[in-house]
């Protein structure tokens, strides 16, 4: 039984304003403001009339919100026509064609939500029956402790959507709390589910959200301030919190994201010089959202407690607090990093346990270092203690060449690297091999090489390197960092305007990290300065080389030199040196301490992850955690034949990789059992999967007979030993 003190009380109602004049299903959007504790007045005034709420679900009045929470809407879902988990489509319906709006230029909030849920499921899960969807995992598949409420996995209940902001309207972190009608008030639990990547607030619904709702928990989502906010400068339109679009100047602080210019160039001047460009929230908010990811998760847990204690929920019969409610923070990719950072920062004891998969975590640089041994290979401190931006920008230079013998690479990149002296080999075959060797010598595993070709085809390295450089350096869209921008494009033509229907789909289909949803990454120097899709950039000899100049510029922001590694080239000067320092300052703001305050935690990571490579993320974090002074209860599970993106396995027809999501769900079961029933957590281990085996034999359980003693992960005398298995 936990003994944490009550940290907060349900606040007093100051103001509930029901805005009228909205043409919707009869219910206007609800905004509620109040000061926490003593009544000190409403924090923000209502600016404008709300846009139409076209949800087909009913809205109900929410009495109050904490001072820095702005509730947008509360909707009830019956579990038949629509529901919390599958948007009314059920387990089988989620695998089909994504529903389209009746008016694709002006979709309703309800239509946007339905399409968004389906897209997020399909992006994060391998939804092939042959991979286990519908039998081993999925909305209607029972967990260890829960049966599903219906044969199709539909979940009835309430959904609260809100912004958290500092009053400026520039952060507007989206939060959502789903309360299933089957919520167990006698055994209350909250699952905090930060979104992966730059996805919107529904980004974790098909992974962590699914487990939480099936286990009768409330699920508290956050987009971490990095959600898929799109400001189209051509039309000056932006997203609202529900994905609908409006003129930026008309909605003011209610914009999900609205770009700003700089003192040197305002947006109007920029739009005139670089027409049809697009700003994305994580890249161009100038907030470095990652610095606040831990706080965002803690805020959304606060918001969940607030929602649960409303009189319309359970406030009339009991008070739910951190002392009587089980709270698990869980996420995938950058959502996993956010959950870990939240636990590190949780001085109030909100979080009881942490379960993450493939976390894109940046461990703090520990001068003493930890040695990693895997089989006959040893990775020393210098080879793996690198921020993820360092690794992404390095891959962005060499992976197009390493993939050049496949349909996914660029032989022209190899030739350009050779011409500039960054490769020494002469034939294409030799250049491909040299590029691959440089990548693996950087500290990555050879088992990631094949899957990295698919990542290159999906522009993973180019998109992440550009976005994170902008985010860390707090650059504006008008800065055109390293000559890049975002815009719609068609082949070799200059950027063109995105159509209104394409803009309307951005919230539903985009991942917040272009190239995505019809928004391309642009090389501004192409087409005589008008711009060209970066992939179609050619060198002086006409070879397609993918804008190597831009990739090398981003790389310099990692090294601080004119070389591709720290020990090559000369130190940067002038503006480049300033930009390098800005990026490094941003990275310093996001480094994790490894100190989880003694909380039980589990990390599940695929060994073949070619984005958040295990040496630089989970292995390094686990080693750092083991050296902290607090009692460590961190378990590390490394899964063979698994990578970062289950959805890409289906997209590329990959049958040699298994779904990591299956093990995330298992780990959540184990953590829940530990926290509720004092069951032992598993030991750190490698799980040896068998992708070619029959489905029932393909995915051994954690601690199964297939996981032999020889697959145990150990840490001793600053050496982390990972068996090959």
CA atoms within 13 A on the CB side of 184: 16
Using alpha carbons only, what angle is made at residue 239 by residues 236 and 245, rounded to the nearest 5 degrees? 70
Tell me the β-bridge partners of 634. Answer: 601
Place of tokens 């539909």: 154
Quote the distance between the C-alpha of residue 630 and its chain's center.
Answer: 28
Tell me whether the omega of the peptide bond preceding residue 589 falls within 30 degrees of 0, making it cis: no
Mark whether 333 is an active-site residue. yes
Residue 50 CB neighbour total at 10 angstroms = 23
- DSSP state string for 306-352: HHHTSTTTTTTT----TTTSEEEEEEETHHHHHHHHHHHH-TT---S
Tokens for 181, please give them: 């009608």
Tell me how far apart the 2 most distant CA atoms of the chain are, in Å: 76
Cα separation, 463 vs 485, in Å, equals 11
Please tell me which residue in 57, 150, 330, 333 is annotated as part of the active site.
Answer: 333
Q: What are phi and psi of 156, to 5 degrees?
A: -85, 155
Report CA-CA distances (Å) from 412 to 195, 398, 465.
Answer: 36, 12, 20
CA dihedral 38, 41, 44, 50 (to 10 degrees): 110
DSSP state of 34: -
DSSP three-state, residue 174: strand
Using alpha carbons only, what angle is made at residue 342 by residues 341 and 345, rounded to the nearest 5 degrees? 90
Burial class from Cβ neighbours inside 10 Å (0-12, 13-18, 19+) for residue 347 reads exposed
The catalytic residues are: 333
């Amino acid at each position: 039984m936990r003994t944490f003190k009550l940290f907060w009380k349900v606040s007093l109602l100051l103001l509930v304003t029901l805005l009228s004049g909205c043409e919707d299903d009869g219910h206007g959007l609800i905004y509620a403001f109040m000061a926490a504790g003593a009544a000190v007045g409403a924090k923000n005034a209502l600016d404008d009339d709300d846009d139409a709420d076209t949800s087909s679900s009913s809205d109900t009045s929410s009495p109050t919100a904490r001072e820095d929470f702005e509730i947008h809407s509360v909707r009830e879902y019956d579990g038949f026509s629509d529901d919390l988990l599958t948007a009314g489509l059920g387990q089988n319906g989620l695998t089909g064609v994504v529903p389209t709006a009746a008016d694709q230029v002006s979709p309703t909030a309800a239509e946007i939500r339905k399409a968004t849920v389906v897209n997020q499921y399909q992006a994060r899960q391998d939804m092939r029956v042959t991979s286990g969807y519908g039998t081993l995992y999925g909305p209607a598949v029972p967990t260890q402790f829960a049966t599903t409420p219906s044969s199709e996995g539909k979940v009835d209940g309430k959904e609260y959507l809100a912004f958290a902001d500092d009053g400026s309207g520039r952060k507007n972190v989206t939060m959502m709390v789903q309360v299933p009608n089957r919520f167990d008030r006698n055994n209350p639990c909250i699952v905090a589910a930060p979104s992966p990547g730059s996805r919107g607030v529904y980004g974790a619904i098909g992974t962590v959200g699914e487990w939480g709702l099936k286990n009768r928990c409330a699920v508290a989502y956050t987009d971490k301030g990095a959600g898929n906010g799109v400001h189209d400068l051509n039309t000056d339109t932006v997203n609202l919190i529900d994905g609908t679009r409006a003129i930026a100047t008309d909605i003011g602080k209610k914009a999900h994201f609205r770009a700003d210019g700089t003192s040197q160039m305002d947006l109007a001047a920029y739009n005139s010089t670089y027409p049809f460009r697009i700003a994305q929230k994580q890249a161009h908010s100038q907030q470095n959202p990652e610095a606040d990811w831990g706080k965002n998760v803690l805020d959304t847990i606060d918001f969940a407690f607030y929602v649960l204690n409303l009189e319309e929920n359970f406030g009339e019969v009991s008070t739910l607090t951190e002392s009587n409610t089980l709270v698990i923070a869980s996420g995938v990719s950058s959502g996993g990093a956010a959950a870990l950072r939240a636990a590190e920062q949780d001085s109030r004891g909100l979080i009881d346990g942490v379960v993450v998969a493939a976390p894109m975590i940046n461990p703090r640089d520990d001068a003493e270092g930890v040695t990693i041994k895997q089989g006959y290979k040893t990775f020393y401190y210098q080879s793996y203690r690198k921020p993820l931006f360092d690794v992404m920008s390095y891959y962005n230079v060499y992976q197009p060449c390493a993939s050049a013998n496949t349909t996914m690479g660029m032989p022209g990149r190899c030739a350009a690297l050779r011409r500039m002296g960054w490769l020494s080999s002469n034939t294409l075959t030799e250049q491909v091999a040299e590029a691959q060797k440089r990548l693996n010598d950087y500290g990555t595993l050879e088992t990631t090489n094949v899957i990295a070709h698919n990542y290159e085809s999906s522009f993973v390295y180019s998109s992440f390197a550009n976005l994170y450089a902008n985010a860390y350096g707090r650059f504006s869209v008008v800065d055109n960092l390293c000559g890049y921008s975002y815009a719609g494009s068609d082949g070799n033509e200059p950027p063109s305007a995105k159509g209104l229907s394409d803009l309307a789909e951005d919230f539903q289909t985009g991942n917040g990290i272009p190239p995505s949803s019809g928004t391309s990454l642009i090389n501004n120097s192409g087409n005589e300065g008008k711009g060209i899709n970066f992939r179609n950039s050619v060198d002086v000899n006409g070879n397609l080389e993918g804008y190597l100049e831009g990739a090398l510029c981003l790389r310099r922001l990692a090294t601080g030199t004119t070389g591709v590694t720290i020990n090559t080239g000369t130190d940067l000067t002038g503006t480049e040196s300033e930009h390098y320092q800005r990026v490094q300052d941003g990275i310093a703001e996001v480094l994790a301490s490894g100190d989880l305050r003694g909380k039980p935690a589990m990390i599940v990571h695929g060994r073949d992850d070619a984005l958040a490579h295990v040496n630089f993320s989970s292995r390094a974090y686990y080693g750092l955690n083991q050296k902290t002074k607090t009692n460590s209860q961190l378990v590390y599970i490394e899964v063979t034949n698994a990578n970062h993106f289950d959805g890409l396995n289906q997209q590329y027809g990959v049958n040699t990789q298994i779904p990591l999501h299956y093990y995330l769900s298992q780990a959540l079961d184990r953590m829940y059992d530990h926290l509720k029933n004092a069951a032992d957590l598993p030991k750190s281990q490698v799980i040896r999967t068998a992708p070619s085996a029959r489905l029932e034999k393909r995915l051994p359980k954690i601690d199964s007979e297939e996981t032999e003693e020889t697959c145990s992960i150990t840490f001793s005398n600053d050496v982390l030993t990972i068996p090959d298995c």
